Structure 1
Amino acid sequence: MDIETLIMHAPFKLSDEDIRVLRGQAERLEPHTWDEVKGMIAAGEMGQLRRSSRDLRNYIRWHAEIGKPHGSVLEYVRRERLHWPKPVIARDAVPFAHADDWKILWNDWPYDLADGMMHLVLWSKSRTAVDPETGLPTDHTAKLIESFLDRTFGETLGCCRGQDLL
């Protein structure tokens, strides 16, 4: 499938930058650095994270195909990656309070990150509050997530949020 057809038939809305990346017109061709990612996350601008042209093409193709047998990418993740039964029911309404209510997985389609960086995804059965205007976690939810990350990676692995954990 040629690039223009891929762009026209993408299974999700592509950003202008995604389209430039696919067409080979993007200004930024280098992987995101740690400092860039820290800045984006601190500013709540995760939408600026980009995949490489090759990875973005493959992700679009995968996204289009995975929905066919599973109905959606989220359903695929629930069934095949998380192995959570349907309906998904949390043991505790408080996010991360019960070990059965969350999982950490490698991102199968990570962004274009500099060597030495990894992208993990924290999945929760418990509902987490988000700001309806930004789609970002509320301050309370952000504190719950940060506390969880500090306990899980900081205390266990000696990681320090902001230094080697975002």
Structure 2
Amino acid sequence: MCACRSTCPTGSTQNPSTCACSCSTQCPTGQYNNPDNSCTCLCTTTNQPPQNGVCLNCPSNSRAVGSSCQCNDPNFLYNPTTNTCACRSTCPTGSIQNPSTCACSCSTQCPTGQYNQPEGNCRCLCQSTNQLPQNGVCLNCPSGSRLVGTTCQCSDPSFSYNPQTNRC
């Protein structure tokens, strides 16, 4: 009978007939013994030692923190069920969310002099007043007048509205 040329690392035992090293300790599910490294348990997904006894295979846009993953961008939240980083909050009705940035945007275009906000359900607002347009028109009627149709009308019938000066 021949002797084995090398010895096994601490923590492993050697089969005298094959000279193969094996570990006597059992690793938890998802981990395996590494007989070449003192029989330490390594994660099957990463071939790295577990963090606090847990094997994590965090997505590329996250990192292991304790026994869980944490997304690198604060706008994202880690979902352990899907092992992904998803947007922390959803966009309001009428707006579209960019899955890579979580930013909300509106698909509708507003007429000149109006803008839309994803936070406001993408409704068009008047740039001059930050209010909803009246009958689709943005006019900042002066005091003593009101919007009638698409133009301002003076409350006192003895005055007429001048659109160039925006006065009665």
Q: Same fold (TM over 0.5)?
A: no
Larger strand proportion of the pair: 2
Larger helix proportion of the pair: 1
Q: TM-score under structure 2 normalisation?
A: 0.20
> Rg bigger for which structure?
2
